[in-house]
Structure 1
Amino acid sequence: MKVLHVSDLHIGKRVNGMSMLDDQRYILRQILDIAKKHQVSVLLIAGDVYDKASPSAEAVTVFDAFLTDAVAAGLRVLAIPGNHDSAERIAYAQGLLEKQGVCLPPVYAGAVERVELEDEHGPVEFWLLPFLKPGDVRRFFPDGEIGDDYSAALRAVLGACTIDQGKRNVVLSHQLVTAYGTAPDRADDEIKLGGMDNVDVSVYDAFDYVALGHVHRPQRVGRDTVRYSGSPLKYSFSEARYGKSVALVELGEKKPGDDVGECVSFELIPLVPLHDVREVRGTLADVLAMGAAASGSLADAGVLAGGISNGKAAGGVDDEAGALGGEGEGPAAADGVCDKVTLGNGSRDGAAAVRDASQDYLHITLSDEHPQLDAMAKIHEVFPNAMMLDYDNVTVLVDRPQTQLTADPDSMDTLDLFGAFYESQVGNSLDDEQRGFARKLIAKVEDSAAKGPDGQEEGAQ
């Protein structure tokens, strides 16, 4: 039986105020294309279907279309709610959907939903464990010592399941899972997920494959068959240097005496976004030149969609650095935790061969010594989807002691007063060119102020 493991769709999410719905429609179609190509039987969605507990009508429509297409493709869909979801809303119409091959578990009430499917090697038990907190569990195990311990809560929940070790067992779970006290590799904006909410990986020792959600980077936790699929899209710039993928899992025959997970093999299939998320650094002139080079096809530069260049691993921006001036490096692989997505034999599943990099979502850091006039407007002419603009000297500006004004402001003309203000903010005096520009601008402003609303001379007030 072939299973496709995805999670953290976050349908309806906005990144820096920009809707990601078009990108999500694109990547969801790609996931279905991969499922069809590899003759997948079951699609697992390990939580965070939506980005909000009360998703927008547009987000619900996107997921509805995705489920409809998945069922039409002959897939069984098994999904659980994550911490971003409302378990009650996810479970809506579950009776009707189950008849169509879509299982969305009911709100947890003391028992874990189980779905049994069969292939040529016999039954496979799928356990649908929604995102749970100790408070969701304690009342069902009054004699257990759960307290605020997430591991104890999940251990109690799964310990109450009747698991037949002679069968292949798969569990879907949406939690922060740690191995040997080590947390999974997370994006910078996910660090807040840490703390007391971690679940020890040993809780899942009875399961051949553990389909995890909650962390956005694809990786194993403790053993190869306990893994996060990661989100299908990059939802922050802290994820810019990491490739995205789906986990294609094959459940083979489980023989008597086999170790847990021995019947499982898997492959990571790269995902290619409609727009990549990248970080770019350089002077404004450099960035504008990059935009001119990036417009249209980048086939000649060897830059492929999804941060994959010339058959290299999909490490993100690092693979594009030569052509686009990006910075970064591929994912770390400490303890084999973080997976580097590779292209087998140069193939690209469900993806266009070349991405128009000028349309990517960018965080641009300018290294110019001084702030540039209308920098973002100029950047948008060549990178229309640029989202963020910073200067690399911001820290210097913030930390630099401000120059004290020793002269009496009332005795200074407008140009000198502006020059003093500029020096206090930037730390440098106006050069001759800047001073000449400021003089002309001040003259225009003073001339305009000296005229009334109808443009007639009335004298400056």
Structure 2
Amino acid sequence: MKLLHTSDWHLGRSFHGVGMLGAQQHFIDQLVDTVRVHSVDVVLIAGDVYDRALPGVDVVTMFSDALSRIRSAGARIILTSGNHDSASRLGFGSAILAHGGVHLRTRIAELATPVQLELDGATLAVYGIPYLEPRLTAEELEAAAPTHTAVMRAALERIHQDLESRRAHGPVRSLVMAHTFASGGLTSDSERDLSIGGVGAVPLDLFDGLDYVALGHLHGRQELSASVRYSGSPLPYSFSESGHHKGGILLEFDRDGLVGAENVSWDTGRRLAVLRGTMADLLESEKHAAAEDSYCQITVTDAERPLKAMERLRARFAHTLVLAFEPEGGPRTDRLTYSERIAKAQDDLDVCCGFLDHVRSRSAGDAERGLLMETLAKVQAAEVSA
């Protein structure tokens, strides 16, 4: 049996103000192709189907169409909710959808009720643990404390109890989907923090004794152990993911358990580039030529903030989305505070030029000083005539 481990679709998300529905549709097209080419039996979605609890109508339509296409390609679907999803909304109609081969696990009451898949002489029990907010779920789970570790431990205890009862009647292999931050995982800027100070990370040994754990939440594909993996998001959602290889993980099970796990890569469309340098280097160096058609995050390191930096950079890098200014060697230490500038100003022109220097980290040029002088002269003339 072949299963495709995915997570963190974040349908409806934008990228620094750029809509991503087209890119998300492109990844869904590739996912459906993967299902057909590899004869995938089950597609797993380990949480964060949507980017927000109340997705737009067009986003819901896209997801509905994706489910239909995956089913038409021959695969069943098992999904659970993440911290970005509304569990109750995502889980609506779950009993009806199950009859059509779409299995939703968004409620605590269902986390120990697996989707049972037939292997050759054995059963693969797939459990879905939705995102568990400790303060809201600890009591229902009868957890020892309102912490991520305690609620996950309580959830897994229920699953192990169910597995023991099923194994009394024959061989059962286990797969658990969970949307959580497991110890050892590498984070990205685009993930919403699950806790403060790192206490949200659950120990990896909580997952001992399971054949495979399909994790969601972290956007980088990574292997925490042979049986515990993050598939990562299918698209990059922050510039910190510029070096990621996006896709899913193709799993193969037989009656003995997991026998194969292979990364599947998908094209993400326009690439990401993170550039840093002086304006002269950025605009002239050939080493940046490959980034000209990429979405760019650029940090300018000139000692003074360049004039019309974004406009000039976009002349070469048309898809620059983020611009930062970090003078090489740190901020200038010879600059006066704004209060000190005002105190030392000799006239109104000094006040105006000091303000420009303060807000732009760049002194007024000759043309700007001339324009300010002309404007001040008109104001003074108007005051005299009044």
- Place the TM-score, normalised by the shorter chain, in its bin: 0.7 to 0.9
Alpha carbons of structure 1 residues 374 and 112: separation in structure 2 relative to 1, 3 Å: same
1:126-275 map, 5 Å: 126-135=126-135, 137-140=137-140, 142=142, 145-148=144-147, 149-163=150-164, 164=166, 166-178=171-183, 183-188=184-189, 190=191, 192-194=193-195, 195-221=198-224, 223-254=225-256, 263-275=258-270
TM-score normalised to structure 2 length: 0.84
Counterparts of 2:214 and 2:48 in 1: how far apart (Å)? 13
The amino acid that maps onto 1:42 is: V
Alpha carbons of structure 1 residues 119 and 460: separation in structure 2 relative to 1, 3 Å: farther
Contact kept, 8 Å, 1:134 with 1:153, in 2: the verdict is: no
Counterparts of 2:181 and 2:83 in 1: how far apart (Å)? 11
**Is residue 325 of structure 2 the alignment partner of residue 391 of structure 1?**
yes
Counterparts of 1:101 and 1:398 in 2: how far apart (Å)? 63
2:271 to 276, 279, 283: 276
- Give how far 1:231 is off: 0.9
* Structure 1 gap ranges (5+): 255-260, 294-321, 326-356, 453-457
Counterparts of 1:282 and 1:384 in 2: how far apart (Å)? 17
Counterparts of 2:292 and 2:133 in 1: how far apart (Å)? 43
The amino acid that maps onto 2:84 is: H
- Tell me how large the CA RMSD over aligned residues is: 3.2
- Give how far 1:100 is off: 2.1
The amino acid that maps onto 2:151 is: Y
1:441 to 362, 371, 386: 371
Alpha carbons of structure 1 residues 398 and 323: separation in structure 2 relative to 1, 3 Å: closer
Alpha carbons of structure 1 residues 58 and 122: separation in structure 2 relative to 1, 3 Å: same
* Structure 2 gap ranges (5+): none
**Is residue 307 of structure 2 the alignment partner of residue 287 of structure 1?**
no
- Give how far 1:137 is off: 4.7
Contact kept, 8 Å, 2:177 with 2:213, in 1: the verdict is: yes
TM-score normalised to structure 1 length: 0.72
Alpha carbons of structure 1 residues 248 and 289: separation in structure 2 relative to 1, 3 Å: farther
Alpha carbons of structure 1 residues 106 and 173: separation in structure 2 relative to 1, 3 Å: closer
Identity of aligned residues (%): 31
The amino acid that maps onto 1:442 is: L
1:412 to 347, 360, 385: 347
Contact kept, 8 Å, 1:2 with 1:42, in 2: the verdict is: yes
Counterparts of 2:62 and 2:192 in 1: how far apart (Å)? 29
Alpha carbons of structure 1 residues 37 and 286: separation in structure 2 relative to 1, 3 Å: farther
Higher mean C-alpha deviation, range 51-60 or range 156-165: 156-165
User: How many corresponding residue pairs?
Assistant: 376
Counterparts of 2:110 and 2:91 in 1: how far apart (Å)? 16
- Give how far 1:227 is off: 0.4
Counterparts of 2:81 and 2:360 in 1: how far apart (Å)? 50
Counterparts of 2:116 and 2:54 in 1: how far apart (Å)? 31
Counterparts of 1:8 and 1:200 in 2: how far apart (Å)? 21
Alpha carbons of structure 1 residues 103 and 401: separation in structure 2 relative to 1, 3 Å: same
Matched residue of 2:35: which SS? helix
**Is residue 297 of structure 2 the alignment partner of residue 363 of structure 1?**
yes
Counterparts of 1:232 and 1:99 in 2: how far apart (Å)? 28
Matched residue of 2:82: which SS? coil
Aligned to 1:124: 124
Counterparts of 2:48 and 2:151 in 1: how far apart (Å)? 19
Counterparts of 2:160 and 2:120 in 1: how far apart (Å)? 29
- Give how far 1:197 is off: 2.6
